[in-house]
């Protein structure tokens, strides 16, 4: 590739705002769950672009949709609607609790819209003081000032001056803690059905049922951030479907576009009614190119074959992790749903998740962490058996190298 010679990983340190610490190699090409770097080294991808490339790299259905729409029309703005956006919205509505869709470009923007909607609904329908948002420790909802403040990780939200007010954090899966703070001034309870960035913690069914009841009692909206857990990731189209607890507002992003930036906020007619033209918006949201790719991704993901395949792949990965752990005792817990799996490191490896990632790269494997102590697996939902087997073998070698490494 001719462009490879002129830029490399060192260039990053000279030109990019230093908010990331990317791996030592630069990916240039991907196919399925394989990726190649500038030098032609091959990797198996268990990171999925952080649960984004749910159909692997360059899936033919997505490439075709991108090419076809690329020859039709790329952008119209929200002064004009477009066919791909209307089709995708209709499909999301047909498949979920929702009646109304708002498209944006990232998870943070979908959540920003959700939180603004929840506040506006409560203020318009009930009372100007009904603005309290209840959220959870270790939650992650994005990096805009509002969403990062609703997120439950002060290390991300501190240091930027005054935060949006009236946000309360309590421990996740602790119903008594929610009960203690919820009141008639609460406009919303916001949660991830599986906390992703916070360490791969699934919500307890009883807790979720209890929160739904508390929300109904206090006329607060229940908002599910399914940016990471949605679009097939846990084995159903959205994770709420497995719990049988329906939210009032749901956000989706990441896998929604399979790698093309797009997000969506889903809600009901009753709640959507408080919005009118001019109240909220975005230039790119619902862009035809993004919606065409997302529609193609949706058509592949929302099928029994893909969704049941997620559950089979989950079993294989967890069985392999158990077998690796019997040999090396590296993990104290393996948890998660579907293809969002976390392996908690033993105390002796505390804070070393990023070192495990680097060891995996040495073996030709891309994998994620979720905080300093959890290795996260978020591979493609359609990763092949051969890619899975090869990837787990590489992971075992990485674990062996870490265990045998002099500390
Ligand atoms: C990634 C993520 C976000 C933020 O999405 P961006 O596209 O990075 O803005 C929000 N919520 C959850 C649960 C996420 O995993």
Do 105 and 228 share a structural domain? yes
Would you say residue 386 lies in a domain?
yes
What is the rounded CA–CA span in Å between residue 82 and residue 68? 15
Ligand 1 atom nearest to 226, measured from its CA = 13
Cα 176 to Cα 75, 166, 169, 170, 196, distances in angstroms: 48, 20, 13, 10, 23
The count of C-alpha atoms lying within 13 angstroms of the C-alpha of 208, restricted to the half-sphere facing its C-beta, is 19
Exposed (0-12), middle (13-18) or buried (19+): which is 121, by Cβ within 10 Å? buried
Would you say residue 63 lies in a domain?
no
Cα(225) to centroid(ligand 1), Å: 8
What pLDDT does residue 283 have?
97
What pLDDT does residue 406 have?
85
Residues 6+ apart with CB under 8 A from 152: 135, 136, 137, 138, 139, 140, 169, 172, 198
Would you say residue 4 lies in a domain?
no
- Angle, vertex CA 111, rays to CA 375 and CA 369, nearest 5: 10
What pLDDT does residue 225 have?
99
Q: Of 257, 282, 301, which residue constitutes the final position of a domain?
A: 301
Closest residue by Cα to residue 99 from 320, 268, 319: 268
Cα(234) to centroid(ligand 1), Å: 16
Q: Of 285, 301, 317, which residue constitutes the final position of a domain?
A: 301
User: Is the CB of residue 119 below 6 angstroms from any atom belonging to ligand 1?
Assistant: no
Token pair of 85, please?
């956006």
Residues 6+ apart with CB under 8 A from 159: none
Do 91 and 54 share a structural domain? no
Do 386 and 253 share a structural domain? no
Do 334 and 284 share a structural domain? no
What pLDDT does residue 1 have?
46
Residues 6+ apart with CB under 8 A from 111: 141, 142, 147, 150, 190, 225, 227, 251, 265
User: Is the CB of residue 112 below 6 angstroms from any atom belonging to ligand 1?
Assistant: no
Question: Any idea what the CATH number is for the domain that residue 313 is in?
Answer: 3.90.1150.10
Ligand 1 atom nearest to 139, measured from its CA = 13
Token pair of 242, please?
């497995």
Question: Any idea what the CATH number is for the domain that residue 182 is in?
Answer: 3.40.640.10
Cβ contact 203:191 at 8 Å: yes
Which residue shows structure tokens 């997505």?
A: 62
Would you say residue 325 lies in a domain?
yes
Per the DSSP assignment, residues forming a β-bridge with 221 are 188
Cα(2) to centroid(ligand 1), Å: 34
Weakly modelled stretches of the chain, pLDDT under 50: 1-2, 4
Residue nearest atom 10 of ligand 1, based on CA coordinates: 141
Do 315 and 363 share a structural domain? yes
Which run of H or of E encompasses 101?
strand 100-104
Best residue among 146, 196, 199, 261 to mutate for probing ligand 1's pocket (most ligand atoms within 8 Å of CB) is: 196
Cβ contact 78:102 at 8 Å: no
What is the rounded CA–CA span in Å between residue 57 and residue 48? 8
| Residues 326-385: tens digit of each pLDDT | 999 999 999 999 999 999 999 999 999 999 999 999 999 999 999 999 999 999 999 999
Cα(200) to centroid(ligand 1), Å: 14
The secondary structure of residue 346, as a DSSP letter, is P
Cα(106) to centroid(ligand 1), Å: 7
What is the rounded CA–CA span in Å between residue 138 and residue 113? 21
Cα(349) to centroid(ligand 1), Å: 27
Residue 20, SS3 per DSSP: coil
Cβ contact 215:183 at 8 Å: no
What is the rounded CA–CA span in Å between residue 62 and residue 298? 10
Domain count, the chain: 2
Do 124 and 254 share a structural domain? yes
User: Is the CB of residue 197 below 6 angstroms from any atom belonging to ligand 1?
Assistant: yes
Would you say residue 137 lies in a domain?
yes
User: Is the CB of residue 225 below 6 angstroms from any atom belonging to ligand 1?
Assistant: yes
Token pair of 348, please?
């002796």
What pLDDT does residue 3 have?
52
User: Is the CB of residue 140 below 6 angstroms from any atom belonging to ligand 1?
Assistant: yes
Strands, sheet with 374-377, edge to edge from the N-terminal-most edge strand:
331-337, 340-345, 374-377, 368-369
Q: Of 240, 270, 301, which residue constitutes the final position of a domain?
A: 301
User: Is the CB of residue 253 below 6 angstroms from any atom belonging to ligand 1?
Assistant: yes
What pLDDT does residue 148 have?
98
Do 317 and 289 share a structural domain? no
Cα(122) to centroid(ligand 1), Å: 24
Do 313 and 259 share a structural domain? no
User: Is the CB of residue 229 below 6 angstroms from any atom belonging to ligand 1?
Assistant: no
pTM of the prediction?
Answer: 0.97
Would you say residue 194 lies in a domain?
yes
What is the rounded CA–CA span in Å between residue 60 and residue 66? 10
Cα(365) to centroid(ligand 1), Å: 23
Do 96 and 49 share a structural domain? no
Cα 209 to Cα 35, 44, 216, distances in angstroms: 42, 39, 11
Would you say residue 13 lies in a domain?
yes
Do 395 and 370 share a structural domain? yes
Would you say residue 1 lies in a domain?
no
Cα(348) to centroid(ligand 1), Å: 30
Residue nearest atom 15 of ligand 1, based on CA coordinates: 228
Do 335 and 250 share a structural domain? no
Do 326 and 241 share a structural domain? no
What is the residue range of 20's domain? 9-58+304-403
The secondary structure of residue 80, as a DSSP letter, is S
Share of residues in the chain with pLDDT > 70 (%): 99
Per the DSSP assignment, residues forming a β-bridge with 260 are 258
Residue 190 backbone phi and psi in degrees, to 5: -120, 130
């Amino acid at each position: 590739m001719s462009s490879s010679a002129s830029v490399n990983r060192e260039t990053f340190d000279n030109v990019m705002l230093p908010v990331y610490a990317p791996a030592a190699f630069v990916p240039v090409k991907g196919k399925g769950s394989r990726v190649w770097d500038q030098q032609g080294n091959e990797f198996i991808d268990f990171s999925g672009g952080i649960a984004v490339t749910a159909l692997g790299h360059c899936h033919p259905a997505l490439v075709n949709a991108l090419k076809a729409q690329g020859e039709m029309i790329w952008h119209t703005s929200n002064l004009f609607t477009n066919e791909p956006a209307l089709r995708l919205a209709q499909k999301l509505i047909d498949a979920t609790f929702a009646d109304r869709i708002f498209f944006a470009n990232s998870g943070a923007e979908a959540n920003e819209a959700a939180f603004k909607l929840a506040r506006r609904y409560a203020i318009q329908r009930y009372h100007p003081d009904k603005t309290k948002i209840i959220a959870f420790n270790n939650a992650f909802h994005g990096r805009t000032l509002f969403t990062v403040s609703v997120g439950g990780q002060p290390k991300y939200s501190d240091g930027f001056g005054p935060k949006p007010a009236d946000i309360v954090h309590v421990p996740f899966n602790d119903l008594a803690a929610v009960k203690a703070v919820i009141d008639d001034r609460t406009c919303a309870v916001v949660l991830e059905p599986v906390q992703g960035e916070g360490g791969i913690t699934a919500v307890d069914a009883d807790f979720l049922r209890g929160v739904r009841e508390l929300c109904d009692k206090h006329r607060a909206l229940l908002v599910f951030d399914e940016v990471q857990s949605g679009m097939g990731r846990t084995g159903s189209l959205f994770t709420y479907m497995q719990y049988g607890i329906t939210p009032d507002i749901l956000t989706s992003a990441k896998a929604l576009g399979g790698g093309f930036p797009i997000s969506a906020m889903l809600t009901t007619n009753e709640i959507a009614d408080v919005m009118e033209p001019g109240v909220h918006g975005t230039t790119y949201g619902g862009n035809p190119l993004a919606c065409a790719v997302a529609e193609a991704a949706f058509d592949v993901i929302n099928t029994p074959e893909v969704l049941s395949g997620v559950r089979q792949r989950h079993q294989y990965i967890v069985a392999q992790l158990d077998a690796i752990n019997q040999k090396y005792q590296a993990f104290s817990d393996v948890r998660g749903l579907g293809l969002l799996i976390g392996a908690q490191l033993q105390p002796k490896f505390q804070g070393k998740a990023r070192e495990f990632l680097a060891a995996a790269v040495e073996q030709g494997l891309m994998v994620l962490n979720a905080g300093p102590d959890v290795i996260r697996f978020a591979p493609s939902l359609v990763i092949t058996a051969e890619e899975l087997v090869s990837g787990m073998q590489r992971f075992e070698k990485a674990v062996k190298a870490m265990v045998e490494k002099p500390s």
